Structure 1
Amino acid sequence: MDYLTFDLSHDAGGLTTIEAMASTAAAQHAAVMFEVQQLLDWAWAHFPDTHGSMDDGMDWDHDLQLHVEDGGWHTVTLTLAASSRFADAWRAAFPGVLDP
């Protein structure tokens, strides 16, 4: 990943939140969205039937926010709610992204 930076948090109930964010000039926006798509493609390929509400026992859910700021900066935030099973698979697929 060249543009996205990651933050990881856990709650007491075992939910992991993975947040990926980038703020770039318009010229880099397509490259950022390519990285976001790579992450979502991986999630859909490896956990295709367990996307949805964590309250319903699913392994992952996501929220994608796009915002264009004054001056043409594009901010992209992808937030993933993840079960421990999903988070463990994520770490194996993207070594170093969450655990520098």
Structure 2
Amino acid sequence: MLALRYLSFDLSDNDEGVTTLEALASTSAAQHAAVLAEVQQVLDWARQHFPHGHGPLDDGMDWDEDLQVSVEGPWHSVTLTLAASARFVEAFLPVFGGPPED
């Protein structure tokens, strides 16, 4: 498993078989570059392992991403949301983990 220090993914499923993997990190400016490096690590992995699967899941793709970055005072917030097929999630979780199972 690849260790992520700042990003921890939460999973949610919808009725159409799409899983959403979402991570939020809110840090000071000093840690912002490290958070963005983790985001890049996740996206690089996705592009390497699913190179032809990036795009809207409605079009049959395996994954799509939304990255939001905001600054409020001294805090830098980063939200990475991945919409993912079951195939993508199955490959993703052993590498990046997910929330603990109940």
- Asked if Structure 1 and Structure 2 have the same fold, meaning a TM-score greater than 0.5 normalized by the shorter chain, the answer is yes
Number of aligned residue pairs: give it: 97
Q: Which residue of 2 aligns with 1:76?
A: 78
Contact 2:24–2:77 at 8 Å: present in 1 too?
yes
**C-alpha distance in 1, partners of 2:91/2:9?**
16
Identity of aligned residues (%): 63
Give the letter aligned to residue 83 of structure 2. Answer: A
Residue from 20, 26, 33 that aligns with 2:36:
33
Q: Which residue of 1 aligns with 2:92?
A: 90
Residue from 52, 57, 71 that aligns with 2:55:
52
Residue from 51, 59, 62 that aligns with 2:65:
62
**Corresponding residue SS for 1:20:** strand
What runs of 5+ residues in structure 2 fail to find an aligned partner? none
What runs of 5+ residues in structure 1 fail to find an aligned partner? none
**C-alpha distance in 1, partners of 2:87/2:67?**
22
TM-score by length of 2: 0.91
Contact 2:17–2:85 at 8 Å: present in 1 too?
yes
Q: What do you get for the CA RMSD once the two structures are aligned?
A: 0.9
Give the letter aligned to residue 11 of structure 1. Answer: N
User: Which stretches of structure 1, 4 residues or longer, exceed 4 Å deviation after superposition?
Assistant: none
Higher relative contact order (CA closer than 8 Å, sequence separation 6+) = 2
